[in-house]
Structure 1
Amino acid sequence: MKILVIGPSWVGDMMMSQSLYRTLKAEHPDAVIDVMAPAWCRPLLSRMPEVNQAVAMPLGHGALEIAERRRLGKMLKANGYDRAFVLPNSFKSALIPFFADIPRRTGWRGEMRYGLLNDLRKLDKSAFPLMVQRYVALAYDKTRIHSASDLPQPLLWPQLAVQDAEKQAAISAFGLASGRPMIGFCPGAEFGPAKRWPHYHYATLAQRLIDQGYQVVLFGSAKDHDTGQQILATLADDSRQHCRNLAGETQLEQAVILLAACDAVVSNDSGLMHIAAALNRPLVALYGPSSPDFTPPLSDKARVIRLITGYHKVRKGDADEGYHQSLIDITPERVMTELETLCPRPGV
């Protein structure tokens, strides 16, 4: 069976979608799974053994361009796909499998997708509270799965594999200390500062970790670089040599490898958090207005810290620099305590 998946456009969602691919391979071992997604997803998809190939989605997020989607669909028709799974809920995301004449096209009912999808599922959000459950449920016949309790347990969580040789090569390439254990920080987050643990808390935690013999590596995109510089500037002069700001300096592939080399990771609710979870790194995940009740880190080695309940749609908090008070109230000491339960101090 040949399967085309129209994948998500965000890092965290793409990572969680691997649970669907793993489930499809478990149910149909001979299935050949191709995933259509933005080109930047290739470093993630290439580390998912269930995925045969990544098919580049050339259209930008939000672009309708029906004529171009029709052309792409007609081009993919020659691949002879038997099934399609459409993970985004938009109308436009269902067009390419429709134009490709894929016989069975599965997805949750979204914006006006009647006819485009012929295996349409009506979503009861309370029955499938987690996004990963909604992805996995699509792998089964809709007459079989009515709620998350019907899904076979345990769910097959995302898993990315990185070889030791890759880690050592990346550590050397970026001039990191090979003999000093490494803690990764992911201080950025999409959609505004309200999802970010304050940079000064990260700095306090970094100083304590460096004093204990760790090196700290900061990950993120170019727009997180200034936050990394704020963290560095707060450290003692003789400690800065043990903290590297790689935000904006790594490609996604390199960030994946270096995160795999970390002894532990501290992260805001972000795509990099989900990557760290899939790499099975000891992880402390910090939540504020966004909720782990929908997209938690999928790992037994993850610890979530959150001081409020519910979902709060806010991109900028009321505190200084746009931080949210619930994240300010998470102290570095609390995070340090969680880290110490996940990994021992160097030399212990």
Structure 2
Amino acid sequence: MLKILVIGPSWIGDMVMSQSLYRTIKTKYNESIIDVIAPAWCHPLLSRMPEVDSALNMPLDHGILALKKRYYLGKSLETNNYDRAYVLPNSFKSALIPFFAGIKHRIGWRGEMRYLVLNDIRILNKVEFPMMVERYIALGYDESSTFSHQLPHPILWPKLVVNEDEKQIIIKKFALSNYRLIIGFCIGAEFGPAKIWPHYHYAALAEQLIAEGYQLILLGSIKDHKIGNAIIQMLLESSRKHCKNLVGQTQLEEAVILLAHCVAVVSNDSGLMHITAALNRPLVALYGPSNPDFTPPLSHKARVIRLIGGYYKVRYSDRKYGYHQSLIDINPSRVHQELITLLNLD
């Protein structure tokens, strides 16, 4: 039986996409045991991946070296007798734990100063593997599989599991109506307004959908709560009871279940977008400067709307510039058209 340790990514969207590697490993080694070490906030996702046997806590903050703590963490895993480790982040520090744990086969892409800590270093061909999910999956195959056409197709996309009982419990907890179908709006994104569809567009779309008989839930992190309030305030008084601002009011576990219960979702490029895709819910994904070719929503029920070409790196400093013009230019009527088309297909 093959025992595997995965050093998982720290971002929610990346963690969702990493499930494709675990699914790939399980098809090759059906009896394998896969443990994933990741920050605690990612564990609700790992618990919904049937391929993952254990989620181990990464107690160190993102970006912190903490060499001594990594050493002791690695040594604490030594008795697990892992046969191999996959290191998904590209940093030097991320490869230290399996090195200290004495895992003989340590696999990862070439990154910063990793020649000593990894002993199966792959050289990434970005042209051959343009998508992040392909780069994760490629690590699960021999080093000779350096071309995308050598990987099995179709790719095994992420597939999170939520059961029906959980959905009914969450509906009662947040006092949602049983008489109106739910559409979710994932209104936030990392790096702020530069990746966010304007609140007034969300409000216009919400008003139309409420008039058509739907109820809306707004989801996101606490830092986006004001955006949710701004959307609510723009609605007609009679419509507000059908739109609930749950931004910053849910744990990630609850947000996953709520998204699973939605008949459709509209989302910015965010972690919640990737979760929605992995739940196979009808999804309209709105992109501005970020690149849908690198990290697209992995679902046949997803539609991407983007009005510009090329890739523009988004930084935290871009917050001061407000909404990006390419997202402002996405008209609510266009999003509504895509959404209704998806609803009719589902």
SS of the aligned residue for 1:260 comes to helix
Mapped partners of 2:317, 2:333: distance in 1: 22
Residue aligning to 1:233: 233
Mapped partners of 1:85, 1:314: distance in 2: 28
Deviation at 1:316, TM superposition (A): 7.5
Does residue 168 in structure 1 map to residue 168 in structure 2?
Answer: yes
C-alpha contact (below 8 Å) 2:193/2:319 kept by paired residues: no
Deviation at 1:41, TM superposition (A): 1.0
Mapped partners of 1:64, 1:207: distance in 2: 48
Does residue 299 in structure 1 map to residue 314 in structure 2?
Answer: no
| TM-score, normalised relative to structure 2 | 0.97
Deviation at 1:40, TM superposition (A): 1.0
Residue aligning to 2:258: 258
Residue aligning to 2:108: 107
Residue aligning to 2:27: 26
Across the aligned residues of Structure 1 and Structure 2, the Cα RMSD in angstroms comes to 1.5
Within-5 A mapping of 1:112-123: 112-123=113-124
Does residue 153 in structure 1 map to residue 143 in structure 2?
Answer: no
Deviation at 1:344, TM superposition (A): 3.7
Does residue 207 in structure 1 map to residue 188 in structure 2?
Answer: no
What per-residue deviation string (whole Å, max 9, x for no partner) do you get for residues 179-228 of structure 1? 21000000100012110000000000000000000000000111111000
Call closer, same or farther: CA 1:220–1:109 in 2, change over 3 Å: same
Within-5 A mapping of 1:242-253: 242-253=242-253
Mapped partners of 1:8, 1:28: distance in 2: 22
SS of the aligned residue for 2:183 comes to strand
Does residue 3 in structure 1 map to residue 4 in structure 2?
Answer: yes
Call closer, same or farther: CA 1:197–1:53 in 2, change over 3 Å: same
Mapped partners of 2:37, 2:307: distance in 1: 38
Mapped partners of 1:314, 1:204: distance in 2: 26
SS of the aligned residue for 2:210 comes to helix
Aligned-residue identity in percent: 66
C-alpha contact (below 8 Å) 1:194/1:289 kept by paired residues: yes
Deviation at 1:320, TM superposition (A): 9.6
C-alpha contact (below 8 Å) 1:172/1:178 kept by paired residues: no
Call closer, same or farther: CA 1:271–1:340 in 2, change over 3 Å: same
Mapped partners of 1:56, 1:318: distance in 2: 32
SS of the aligned residue for 2:297 comes to coil
Residue aligning to 2:135: 134
What per-residue deviation string (whole Å, max 9, x for no partner) do you get for residues 132-170 of structure 1? 000000000011x11212110000000011111110110
SS of the aligned residue for 1:140 comes to coil
Letter in 2 for 1:281: R
Letter in 1 for 2:14: D
Deviation at 1:115, TM superposition (A): 1.4
Deviation at 1:64, TM superposition (A): 0.3
C-alpha contact (below 8 Å) 2:185/2:218 kept by paired residues: yes
Call closer, same or farther: CA 1:319–1:328 in 2, change over 3 Å: farther
Mapped partners of 1:71, 1:317: distance in 2: 36
SS of the aligned residue for 1:237 comes to coil
SS of the aligned residue for 2:239 comes to helix
Mapped partners of 1:332, 1:192: distance in 2: 20
Deviation at 1:71, TM superposition (A): 0.3
Mapped partners of 1:335, 1:147: distance in 2: 36
Mapped partners of 2:319, 2:49: distance in 1: 41
Mapped partners of 2:126, 2:195: distance in 1: 23
Letter in 2 for 1:61: H
Mapped partners of 1:329, 1:302: distance in 2: 20
Letter in 2 for 1:19: S
Call closer, same or farther: CA 1:72–1:316 in 2, change over 3 Å: closer
Letter in 1 for 2:25: L
Letter in 2 for 1:236: L
What per-residue deviation string (whole Å, max 9, x for no partner) do you get for residues 100-125 of structure 1? 00010000001000010000001111
Call closer, same or farther: CA 1:47–1:58 in 2, change over 3 Å: same
Mapped partners of 1:67, 1:105: distance in 2: 20
Mapped partners of 1:124, 1:334: distance in 2: 36
Mapped partners of 2:88, 2:317: distance in 1: 31
Letter in 1 for 2:150: D
C-alpha contact (below 8 Å) 1:319/1:325 kept by paired residues: no
Mapped partners of 1:61, 1:318: distance in 2: 21
Does residue 83 in structure 1 map to residue 96 in structure 2?
Answer: no
Mapped partners of 1:320, 1:109: distance in 2: 35
SS of the aligned residue for 1:206 comes to helix
Corresponding residue pairs, total:
344
Residue aligning to 1:193: 193
SS of the aligned residue for 2:303 comes to strand
Mapped partners of 1:305, 1:205: distance in 2: 15
Show structure 1 runs of 5+ residues with no match: none
Letter in 2 for 1:211: A
